[in-house]
Amino acid sequence: MNELPQQLVNGLLLGSMYGLVAIGYTMVYGIVQLINFAHGEIFMTGGFGALTVWLWLPDGTSMWIALPLMLIGAIIVAVTVAIGAERFAYRPLRGAPRLAPLITAIGLSLALQQAVWAWYPEAKSPRVFPELPGGRIELGSVTIQSGDIFLIAAAPLCMFILGFFVMKTRTGRGMQATAQDPDTAKLMGVNTDRIIVIAFALGAVFAAVGAVAYGFKYGEVRPTMGFVLGLKAFTAAVLGGIGNIYGAMIGGLVLGVAEALSTAYIADIPGMSQLGGQSWADVWAFVLLIVVLLVRPQGLLGERVADRA
């Protein structure tokens, strides 16, 4: 059986999840030039927010009711954490050397991880996430799990809404202006503090949607789930061109597909059997990143901006 279509689907699904999380990295970077390494943990708190709502709901609640409530729960928790982080960890450091907020972000990431681990009930062992009803769907040689359906629907929809928001609304145009030149935007009457908070909040919303998708797809949430995924999403954001929201999604998809295909096929190349398989997928993903950055240092969709590092 030809497994290429299935591996492509595997990669696209994984990539959509990277993309949803990568948007948070790219938006915050685009506006305040901060790599928010705590974003992976904001993603994680979203997952626990959704789980909490599910545990509150009475047993046997229909998914049609539970799903929107879980999404709202995830978004509320993630956005609260993100805004809190911005207000108390990053804003006091605005204007400080770049390294200070970066280290703060890493510290915050560890703190959030440990806090959930220590205080969320029974988070010391993985918490089981509810499953979406329905079995698997077979389309020719491709199988799609019920748990993936949410991701398939949510990722493009989120992208569409974000694109519309950034291009068409007043706040969205304010964001673009702040990204281009914060000082001039401020002179033109854009409330840049507000815009920055909105960027953090929007990033958190997408991370929360991603976290709910993660829960459905893998059936569990755990305090460490944001760490590796956050790193991958950051890679995706860089690959796509950091600062560009479409780049984040494209970067995510490319990274996901690269991982799936390298797992599936590298080992079959003569002489490469030792370098294939899933444990080498990350290596190949980063090789791809390096190659792309050699050819296009600004990333796939990034624009070369002279006065930005």
Partner 1 sequence: MPGKGLIVRQRSLIAITAALAAGALTLTACGSRDEGGSGGSDNGGGTTVVIGVDAPLTGDLTALGLGIKNSVDLAVKTANKDKYVDGVTFEIQALDDQGQPSSGQQNATKLVADEKVLGVVGPLNSSVAESMQKVFDDAKLVEVSPANTNPALTQGPNWQTKKERVYDSYFRTATTDAIQGPFAAQYVYNDAKKKKVFVVDDKKTYGAGLASTFTAEFKELGGEVVGTEHVNPDTKDFSAVVTKIKNSDADVVYYGGEYPVAGPLSKQIKKAGKDIPLVGGDGIYSADFIKLAGTEGTGDLATSVGAPVEDLPSAKEFVANYEAEGYKEAYEAYGGYSYDSAWAIIEAVKKVVEDNDGKLPDDARAKVTEAMQNVSFDGVTGKVSFDEFGDATNKQLTVYSVEGGQWKPVKSGTYTG
Which spans of this chain sit near partner 1 (rule: CB under 8 A)?
A: 1, 3, 6-7, 10-11, 13-14, 97, 117, 124-126, 128, 131, 136, 138, 143, 145, 147, 217-220, 222, 224-225, 227-228, 259-261, 263-264, 277-282
Helix (H) or strand (E) holding 168: helix 146-168
The nearest distance, CB 24 to partner 1, in angstroms, is 19
The residue among 76 and 261 lying less far from partner 1, judged by its C-beta, is: 261
Q: How far is the CB of 220 from partner 1 (least distance, A)?
A: 6
138 versus 307: smaller Cβ distance to partner 1:
138
R_g of the chain computed on alpha carbons: 20
**Distance separating alpha carbons of residues 305 and 298, to the nearest angstrom:** 9
| Cβ contact 174:185 at 8 Å | yes
Nearer to partner 1 (CB atom), residue 268 or residue 295: 268
- How far apart CA 15 and CA 301 sit, in angstroms, is 16
| Cβ-contact 185, 178 below 8 angstroms | yes
Least Å distance, CB 234 to partner 1, is 15
Between residues 47 and 299, which has the closer beta carbon with respect to partner 1? 47
| Closest distance of CB 146 from partner 1, Å | 8
- The smaller minimum CB distance to partner 1, of residues 1 and 187, is found at 1
Q: What angle do CA 58, 55, 216 make, to 5 degrees?
A: 110
In the complex, what is the shortest distance from the CB of residue 45 to partner 1, in angstroms, rounded to a whole number?
A: 17
Run of H or E residues at 180: helix 170-180
What's the rounded Cα separation, in Å, for the pair 62 and 179?
Answer: 43
